[in-house]
């Protein structure tokens, strides 16, 4: 692939012959638990473009599930990784020291929206970051219980899975879950979970937490932390009102609870701010990060107030966490985000949002377009009045977009997420809107 390719080019039937052969091999040896929506077999990528093994080129608005923040094969990331690989690959920050991990922790302390100094624990994924936050919350408060939210996704290891409440299939067959986790309604104001209008949804969801959960299920003085996504990711790219997050913070302060912001998907510049919670003006006690932090290399971070992260040696560790190669990539990623890409996410995200909202006049299938920066969700419905979920149509639109050279992913039961690399240009955003328009038209004709 050359750097001059800026648009899709479909040259074979999808999947092509090389892709079909690899998919057949995969079926025999790889876990069937993976959710492959369409048959993309990647060969290489550059920026926001992806080429498959048969030479078909796609515009990537999925970014490896919001991971490739700086785009595919960003030359500065490749250079940093190459230089670090030539020095050493691994030396376990659990038992030894190396400068890339220290430098990254210093850089994170400079951007994390946490008061009182910041320390970071390094793992390999968002799930591990959440596990560290849960363990540290219990250790620091000497309390056992955690509040999470319906629709939230926090990972798939057993502790993180106990907080996850996005789809039943993700929990089915793995019980019993970790004890001490309680789920409150999350203000999806398009379809309020407590049956009220959008103007009252956020307040009523928190009233339910205080008047029902804290009265009938768990005393607030036994809750270690409230864990929340500032924007729900897997749950449907649901953006709560700012006052929901702000009042939630007040609840934690009033009751001696910790506030944990799960920024695994919404962080690292994606919303036009370094962290999505910055839009609300509040400062959490801990932040879980992963996905876009190292531009595609595995890295998860639990950042916390310095006084909270005071557990002793041996309390928690990770052999591979904070791998020096991942740290090298993350250091450059943070610099690129601060220099240009976070601002680009705000600018191009607004342009993409406007284009997607304009499609609502043409396509009744679109119920709502929501998001911040380059974290945009489009919810599809069969009827705008009843808001009946268009789950099958959502899957069909994603497949139709793929056939035209646009990579998208679903989110929640019936939403489509636009989470492209933060290098996306305005022209590429317009291409994405045009292809999405065509895909909606095709699926609309089938109804």
pLDDT tens sequence across 113-123: 999 999 999 99
Torsion of CA 261, 331, 126, 307, to 10 degrees: -50
Distance CA 305, CA 308 (A): 5
Query: Pick from 370, 378, 386, 376: which is nearest to 414 by CA?
Result: 378
Q: Which two tokens stand for residue 384?
A: 């705008």
When pLDDT is averaged across residues 433-438 and rounded to a whole number, the result is 98
Q: Is the pLDDT of residue 197 over 90?
A: no
Query: Pick from 295, 296, 298, 302: which is nearest to 333 by CA?
Result: 295
Q: What is the reported pLDDT for 192?
A: 81
Q: What is the reported pLDDT for 166?
A: 87
Q: Is the pLDDT of residue 1 over 60?
A: no
Whole-model pTM: value is 0.94
Distance CA 61, CA 40 (A): 13
When pLDDT is averaged across residues 131-150 and rounded to a whole number, the result is 97
191 confidence band (pLDDT: 50, 70, 90): confident
When pLDDT is averaged across residues 246-266 and rounded to a whole number, the result is 97
> Who contacts 440 (Cβ-Cβ below 8 Å, separation ≥6)?
359, 362, 363, 365, 366, 397
246 confidence band (pLDDT: 50, 70, 90): very high
282 confidence band (pLDDT: 50, 70, 90): very high
Q: Is the pLDDT of residue 136 over 80?
A: yes
pLDDT tens sequence across 376-412: 999 999 999 999 999 999 999 999 999 999 999 999 9
Query: With pLDDT > 70 as the criterion, what percentage of the chain qualifies?
Result: 97
307: buried, middle or exposed (CB in 10 Å: 19+, 13-18, 0-12)?
exposed
Q: What is the reported pLDDT for 3?
A: 57
DSSP label of 217: I
Q: Is the pLDDT of residue 259 over 90?
A: yes
DSSP label of 47: B
| 8 Å CB contact between 66 and 233 | yes
Bridge-based pairing state of the strands 300-305 and 118-123: antiparallel
pLDDT tens sequence across 298-348: 999 999 999 999 999 999 999 999 999 999 999 999 999 999 999 999 999
| 8 Å CB contact between 410 and 395 | yes
Q: Is the pLDDT of residue 194 over 90?
A: no
Domains detected in the chain: 17-73+341-446 (3.90.1150.10), 76-337 (3.40.640.10)
pLDDT tens sequence across 18-41: 999 999 999 999 999 999 999 999
What mean pLDDT value characterizes the chain? 95
DSSP label of 303: E
Bridge-based pairing state of the strands 57-60 and 406-407: parallel
Query: Pick from 298, 327, 319, 328: which is nearest to 91 by CA?
Result: 319
Q: Is the pLDDT of residue 199 over 70?
A: no
DSSP 191-216: G-TTS--TTTHHHHHHHHIIIIIIII
Which strands form 406-407's sheet, in the order they lie side by side? Answer: 42-46, 49-52, 57-60, 406-407
When pLDDT is averaged across residues 42-71 and rounded to a whole number, the result is 97
59 confidence band (pLDDT: 50, 70, 90): very high
Q: Which two tokens stand for residue 213?
A: 């959960």
168 confidence band (pLDDT: 50, 70, 90): confident
Q: Is the pLDDT of residue 2 over 60?
A: no
Query: Pick from 291, 294, 307, 172: which is nearest to 229 by CA?
Result: 291
Q: Is the pLDDT of residue 238 over 70?
A: yes
Distance CA 235, CA 152 (A): 6
């Amino acid at each position: 692939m050359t750097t001059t390719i800026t648009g899709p080019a479909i040259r074979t039937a999808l999947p092509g012959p090389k892709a079909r052969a690899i998919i057949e091999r995969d079926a025999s040896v790889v876990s069937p638990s993976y959710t492959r929506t369409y048959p993309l077999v990647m060969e290489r990528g550059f920026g926001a473009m992806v080429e498959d093994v048969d030479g078909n080129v796609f515009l990537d608005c999925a970014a490896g599930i919001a991971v490739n923040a700086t785009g595919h094969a960003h030359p500065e990331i490749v250079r940093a990784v190459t230089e670090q690989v030539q020095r050493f690959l691994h030396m376990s920050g659990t038992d030894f020291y190396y400068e890339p991990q220290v430098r990254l922790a210093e850089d994170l302390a400079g951007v994390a929206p946490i008061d009182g100094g910041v320390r970071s624990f390094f793992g390999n994924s968002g799930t591990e970051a959440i596990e560290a936050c849960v363990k540290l919350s219990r250790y620091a408060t000497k309390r056992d219980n955690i509040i999470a939210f319906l629709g939230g996704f926090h990972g798939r290891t057993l502790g993180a899975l106990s907080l996850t409440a996005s789809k039943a299939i993700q929990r089915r067959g793995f019980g019993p879950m970790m004890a001490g986790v309680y789920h409150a309604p999350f203000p999806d104001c398009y379809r309020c979970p407590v049956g009220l209008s959008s103007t009252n949804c956020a307040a009523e969801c928190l009233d339910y937490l205080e008047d029902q959960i804290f009265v009938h299920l768990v005393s607030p003085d036994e809750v270690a932390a409230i864990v929340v996504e500032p924007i729900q990711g897997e749950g449907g790219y649901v953006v709560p009102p700012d006052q929901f997050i702000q009042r939630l913070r007040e609840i934690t302060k009033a009751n001696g609870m910790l506030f944990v912001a799960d920024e695994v998907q919404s962080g690292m510049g994606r919303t036009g701010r370094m962290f999505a919670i910055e839009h609300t003006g509040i400062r959490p006690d801990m932040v879980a990060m992963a996905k876009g932090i190292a531009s595609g290399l595995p890295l998860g971070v639990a950042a916390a107030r310095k006084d909270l992260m005071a557990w002793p040696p041996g309390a928690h560790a990770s052999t591979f966490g904070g791998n020096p190669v991942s740290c090298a990539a993350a250091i450059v990623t943070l610099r690129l985000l601060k220099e240009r890409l976070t601002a680009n996410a705000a600018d191009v995200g607004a342009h993409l949002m406007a284009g997607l909202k304009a499609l609502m006049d043409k396509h009744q299938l679109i119920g709502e377009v929501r998001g911040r920066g380059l974290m945009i969700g489009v919810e599809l419905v069969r009827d705008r009045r009843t808001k009946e979920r268009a789950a099958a149509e959502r899957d069909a639109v994603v497949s139709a977009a793929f056939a035209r050279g646009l990579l998208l992913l679903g989110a929640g039961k019936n939403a489509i997420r636009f989470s492209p690399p933060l290098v996306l240009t305005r022209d590429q955003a317009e291409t994405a809107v045009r292809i999405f328009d065509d895909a909606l038209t095709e699926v609309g004709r089938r109804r």
